[in-house]
Amino acid sequence: MTPQHRTDGREVFARRYEYDDESVIAIDLGGETTDATVDVIDGTAIVVIETEEGERQEEFDLPSEEARAFIRNGVLTIEVEA
């Protein structure tokens, strides 16, 4: 994953952190996010974001079926055990 990823004309900033026992990918969903949810289905994190302009959906391929994904303070975090 590169530090910056573009989806639908919007810039989404992402970082990957490597630790001894896991990798963590953090994706900033943007400041206009008022509410967001994430579901993991078949190796894909499906994020539904509520903004002032309405609802939008983003999808992120996960590096492993064993990945966990959650959202806190507008940041999607994906944890993958090594």
- The string of pLDDT tens digits covering residues 3-36 is 444 444 556 688 888 889 988 989 888 766 668 8
- Choose between 34 and 69: higher pLDDT: 69
Classify burial at 25, counting beta carbons within 10 Å of its beta carbon; exposed 0-12, middle 13-18, buried 19 or more: buried
CATH code, 4-81? 2.60.40.790
**pLDDT above 50 (res 80):** yes
Annotated domain spans of the chain: 4-81
d(CA 59, CA 37): 12
Which residue type is seen at 36? A
Q: Count H helices, E strands: the chain?
A: 0, 8
Whether the model pTM is above 0.75? no
Query: 66, 81 in Cβ contact below 8 A?
Result: yes
